């Protein structure tokens, strides 16, 4: 599937023309930290009007697991019983999440567990360079095998994550941040998982 991900940076996006531009699904920013994204409900309505599968992502600022779990609980509240077919994604890229002394993998675990406990699928979104064995990196080997990954890596013919972590599941690859829909810049994603 060809998927785009959107946030308030994409205000003015022509949703009526998504299918004509080869878009098969949309992942929408629902929250940053503990604050609901102002455009989420509008974007979700637009995507549902086009009958496209959708997912949501949260841009985290957590530095301890309790904060990550609270972000997750807030996200579940904002969904208000709706189940995103493309899942829930923990967007972990802010510098403070990788600072010295932060257990970055524990942040991921706390968020994923809280979302899973609400009956929703959840995975990790990050750039390829954010993974490793250091405490202040994401270590997939310390997370459950069922956790999916959505990896950002640009300018390459194929994503490195599957060869680095062959026993982990890469659900999607964000291959560009310079897609274009009728003059609106969008991130583009190769989505490997079918919506369910």
Neighbours of 143 (CB within 10 A): 18
Q: Residue 194: pLDDT above 80?
A: no
> How confident is the model over 77-127, as pLDDT tens digits?
999 999 999 999 999 999 999 999 999 999 999 999 999 999 999 999 999
- Three-state DSSP class for residue 56: strand
For the whole model, what pTM was predicted? Answer: 0.96
Confidence of residue 8 (pLDDT cuts 50, 70, 90): confident
pLDDT of residue 12: 80
Percent of the chain scored above 70 by pLDDT?
99
pLDDT of residue 196: 58
User: Looking at residues 146-151, what average pLDDT do you find?
Assistant: 97
Distance CA 43, CA 47 (A): 6
Please choose, from the candidates 171, 196, 182, the residue with its C-alpha nearest in 3D space to the C-alpha of residue 3: 171
Which residues touch 49 (CB under 8 Å, ≥6 apart)?
Answer: 15
> How confident is the model over 32-81, as pLDDT tens digits?
998 999 999 999 999 999 999 999 999 999 999 999 999 999 999 999 99
Distance CA 25, CA 86 (A): 8
Domains recognised in the chain with CATH numbers? 2-191 (3.20.20.80)
Q: Residue 169: pLDDT above 80?
A: yes
User: Looking at residues 144-161, what average pLDDT do you find?
Assistant: 96
Distance CA 137, CA 178 (A): 26
């Amino acid at each position: 599937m060809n998927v785009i991900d959107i946030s308030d940076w994409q205000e003015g996006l022509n949703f009526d023309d998504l299918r004509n531009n080869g878009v098969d699904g949309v992942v929408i920013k629902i929250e940053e930290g503990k604050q609901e994204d102002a455009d989420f409900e509008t974007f979700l309505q637009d995507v549902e009007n086009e009958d496209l599968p959708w997912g949501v992502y949260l841009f985290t600022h957590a530095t301890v697991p309790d904060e990550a779990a609270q972000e997750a609980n807030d996200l579940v509240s904002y969904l208000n019983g709706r189940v995103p077919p493309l899942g829930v994604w923990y967007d972990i890229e802010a510098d403070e999440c990788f600072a010295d002394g932060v257990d970055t993998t524990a942040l991921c675990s706390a968020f994923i567990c809280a979302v899973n406990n609400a009956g929703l699928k959840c995975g990790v979104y990050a750039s390829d360079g954010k993974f490793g064995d250091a405490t202040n990196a994401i270590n997939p080997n310390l997370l459950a095998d069922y956790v999916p990954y959505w990896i950002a890596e640009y300018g390459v013919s194929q994503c490195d994550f599957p060869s680095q972590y062959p026993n982990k599941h890469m659900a999607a690859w964000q291959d560009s941040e310079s897609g274009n829909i009728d003059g609106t810049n969008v991130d583009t994603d190769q989505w490997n998982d079918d919506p369910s």
